Amino acid sequence: MRSLLLALFLVLAFHNGEAAVSCNAVVGDLYPCLSYVVQGGNVPANCCNGIRTLNSQAQTPVDRQGVCRCIKNAIGGVSFSSNNLNNAQSLPAKCGVNLPYSISPSTNCDSIN
C-alpha cells in the first residue's frame, strides 16, 4: 500500500500543468482523501474541504482542465482496484460538490468548460 501512495504522489508532484491551480496544490488538497480511496469508510472532513477548495479555485476552463489532468494522471499512473476507483468517483457527491467532470482514467479533460 505504501508503494501505491508513493507512486500516486510522485506522479502528481512532478506533473506541472498550465492552469493557475498547480498539481502540487491538487496533491495538498486531495491528500486527506487517500485513506478513503484506499480503505473506504467515512470520508474525512478535511478531504471534503480539499475538494471544495479545489473546486472554488478552478474558476476557468483552463483551471478545471488542469485539475482534471492532474487527477487523471494520478489515477492512470497507479494500479487502482475497481473499488478504489469507485471510492474516488464517489468523493464529490459524498462531499456535496458538483464537479464538472468525473474522477476517472477515461475522463476527457479537454471537453471541460
Where exactly are the structural domains of the chain? 2-104
Interval 12-46: pLDDT, tens:
444 444 557 899 999 899 999 999 999 999 999 99
Which strand (E) or helix (H) includes residue 82?
Answer: helix 82-94
Whole-structure pTM value: 0.78
Give the single-character DSSP code of 103. Answer: -
How large is the average pLDDT for residues 64-69? 94
Choosing among 3.40.605.10, 1.20.1090.10, 1.10.110.10, 1.20.1270.360, the CATH entry for 2-104 is 1.10.110.10
pLDDT number for residue 75: 78
What letter represents residue 81's amino acid? S
Instruction: State the Cα–Cα distance between residues 75 and 96, nearest whole angstrom.
Output: 22
Contact 11, 23 (CB under 8 A): no
How large is the average pLDDT for residues 75-90? 86
How large is the average pLDDT for residues 68-72? 91
pLDDT number for residue 11: 46
- For the chain, the average pLDDT equals 84
Burial class (CB in 10 A: 0-12, 13-18, 19+), 14: exposed
Burial class (CB in 10 A: 0-12, 13-18, 19+), 6: exposed
Contact 48, 95 (CB under 8 A): yes
